[in-house]
Amino acid sequence: AVRWGQNWGIPLYRWEAMEQDGFSWWQRRIRKLTDVFQIFRIDHILGFYRLYAFPWRPVRNREFLTLSHEEAAARTGGNLPGFKPRADDTGERRAANLED
């Protein structure tokens, strides 16, 4: 990664697949934002047109730091807005988290 830069493990948008259903995911996302905010901005719009991506899938891409609520609070100085621990190991959620 030193040669290539930071890899945050964020998947690329599959624009062709999104176009097939009329970009419904984006429409739902924007609608949800308007439920919460009166005004918002799309920051870094160039990210939609000029994406920086790694030419491989990192070996450690799905590695997560498992912390308890107390450990997370200690590492963030107690700043855990809206933190709601929940089981992520149910079959449905696990399948969603592992989708490519």
**Residue 67 counted as domain residue:** yes
**Looking at the domain assignment, is residue 94 inside a domain?**
no
Q: Which two structure tokens, joined as six digits, stand for 60?
A: 């450690």
List % helix, strand, coil for the chain (3-state, nearest 5).
40, 0, 60
Asked if the structure places residue 86 within a domain, the reply is: no
| Residues whose CB falls within 8 Å of the CB of residue 21, separated by 6 or more in sequence, listed in order | none
Q: Is residue 37 part of a domain?
A: yes
96 part of a folded domain: no
DSSP 8-state class, residue 35: H
For tokens 């450690």, the residue is: 60
| Structural domain of 71 | 1-81
pLDDT average, residue stretch 66-88:
76
pLDDT tens digits, 32-69: 989 988 887 777 777 667 777 777 776 766 667 788 88
CA distance 13 to 19: 11
Higher pLDDT among residues 90 and 19, named by residue: 19
- Mean pLDDT, to the nearest integer, of 26-35? 90
Q: What is the mean pLDDT of the chain?
A: 77
Does any domain span residue 55?
A: yes
Structure tokens at 46: 């160039």
Query: What confidence score (pLDDT) does residue 53 get?
Result: 74
In a domain, 42, yes or no: yes
Name the domain count of the chain. Answer: 1
